[in-house]
């Protein structure tokens, strides 16, 4: 039986993907599947359907392609569950988004003829919390709670959790004064949480809206998430 590693994609719009579809070449690989409407199908962008009018290129496909090229896995199953315009409080245990994400993982693991196993959670979120001082101050405790809650409810205490910094363009000038603070928290957690990594967003560019990464940057971001996943795997072997 073939093995397929599953990756849960959660967070807000920069994980869901708002990249311009016409700015990058499509990624097509039969080894990359996505779980939508309770069935597996070949992965195509947009992976997410949270906003049909806005959905575009995300980081999921380049992540999947990169870990395949690095021979880290045989097959990839993407579980797109990100939702645009969500704050971290919308993802805490007991919320509809959290419950849906856990349910999708459990259903996907039990579906199909592959031997499915959960590889990691990929998280990108924080822009909504970067607007408000109080929300930004609460972010550290909330993200720590979120990581441990997923590990508990999925019965995987060492489940890798990979986050990404907010773009450099998420700052006071664009209406997100606490963006650097959120990114600092996400980075700091590398010294606190086991089996956790934070991916640098240095040098990545936004679309004209000053909020969303553009498509080329999302392709690069996915590759950086793949490198982070590889590092976490290597730590386990050493």
What pLDDT sits at residue 57? Answer: 98
Dist. CA 137–CA 126, nearest whole Å: 12
What pLDDT sits at residue 121? Answer: 99
- Residue 96: helix, strand or coil by DSSP? helix
Tell me if the pTM is above 0.85.
yes
Q: What Cα–Cα distance (Å) separates residue 88 from each residue in 60, 85, 145?
A: 20, 10, 11
Dist. CA 102–CA 228, nearest whole Å: 23
Choose between 31 and 238: higher pLDDT: 31
Q: What Cα–Cα distance (Å) separates residue 25 from each residue in 19, 58, 101, 186?
A: 12, 13, 29, 31
Which phi and psi (to 5°) does residue 34 adopt?
-130, 150
Q: Structural domains in the chain?
A: 3-125+139-164+184-237 (3.40.50.1110)
Q: What is the mean pLDDT of residues 136-160?
A: 98
Any residues with CB less than 8 A from the CB of 52 and at least 6 apart, and which?
Answer: none
- Alpha helices per DSSP H over the chain: 13-16, 60-69, 96-109, 133-153, 179-188, 215-237
Dist. CA 64–CA 77, nearest whole Å: 8
Q: What is the pLDDT of residues 35-93, one digit of tens each?
A: 999 999 999 999 999 998 999 999 999 999 999 999 999 999 999 999 999 999 999 99
What pLDDT sits at residue 238? Answer: 53
Q: Is the pLDDT of residue 237 over 70?
A: no
Residue tagged 């919308």 (tokens)? 90
What pLDDT sits at residue 113? Answer: 84
Q: What is the pLDDT of residues 159-201, one digit of tens each?
A: 999 999 999 999 999 999 999 999 999 999 999 999 999 999 9
């Amino acid at each position: 039986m073939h093995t397929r590693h599953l990756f849960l994609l959660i967070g807000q719009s920069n994980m869901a993907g708002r990249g311009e579809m016409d700015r990058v070449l499509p990624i097509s690989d039969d080894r990359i599947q996505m779980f939508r409407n309770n069935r597996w199908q070949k992965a195509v962008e947009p992976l997410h359907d949270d906003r049909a009018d806005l959905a575009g290129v995300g980081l999921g496909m380049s992540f999947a392609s990169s870990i395949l090229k690095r021979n880290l896995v045989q097959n990839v199953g993407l579980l797109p569950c990100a939702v645009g315009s969500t704050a971290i409080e919308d993802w805490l245990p007991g919320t509809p988004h959290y419950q849906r994400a856990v349910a999708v993982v459990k259903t996907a693991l039990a579906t199909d003829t592959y031997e499915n196993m959960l590889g990691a959670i990929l998280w990108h979120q924080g822009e909504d919390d970067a607007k408000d001082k109080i929300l930004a101050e609460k972010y550290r405790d909330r993200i720590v709670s979120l990581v441990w809650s997923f590990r508990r409810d999925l019965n995987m205490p060492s489940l890798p959790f990979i986050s990404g910094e907010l773009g450099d363009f998420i700052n006071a000038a664009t209406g997100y004064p606490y963006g650097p603070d959120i990114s600092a928290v996400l980075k700091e957690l590398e010294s606190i949480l086991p089996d956790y990594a934070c991916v640098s967003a240095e040098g990545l560019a936004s679309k004209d809206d000053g909020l969303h990464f553009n498509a080329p940057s999302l392709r690069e971001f996915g590759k950086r998430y793949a490198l982070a996943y590889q590092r976490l795997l290597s730590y386990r072997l050493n």
